[in-house]
Amino acid sequence: MTKTIIKGVKLRLYPNAQQKKQLWQMFGNDRKVWNLMLDMAKHRYQNNPGSHFVNEYGMNYLLKRLKQEYPYLKASDST
């Protein structure tokens, strides 16, 4: 019988005030994009249950449009 060893690393960050602000902005943007994409997927499925799910490439393409519509999303990373 082989034993599996799982190792991990714990890390604690101590961001300054500006970094905290940037992190909260990024998390808020991620949540906004997630909710928008989820809403789009739900509406697409309701309108056409046989349609295929949008893959990562398609979502990244949609993200470009969302960044045009919501300029504050440009403060986050590209994907």
Residue 25 has a pLDDT of 92
Any idea where the domains of the chain sit in the sequence?
A: 17-75
Q: Return the percent helix, strand and coil in the chain, to nearest 5.
A: 65, 0, 35
**Residue 27 near residue 35 (C-beta atoms within 8 A):** no
Model-level pTM greater than 0.85? Answer: no
Mean pLDDT, the chain cut into blocks of 10 residues (79 residues total): 87 95 92 91 87 81 88 82
Residue 79 has a pLDDT of 67
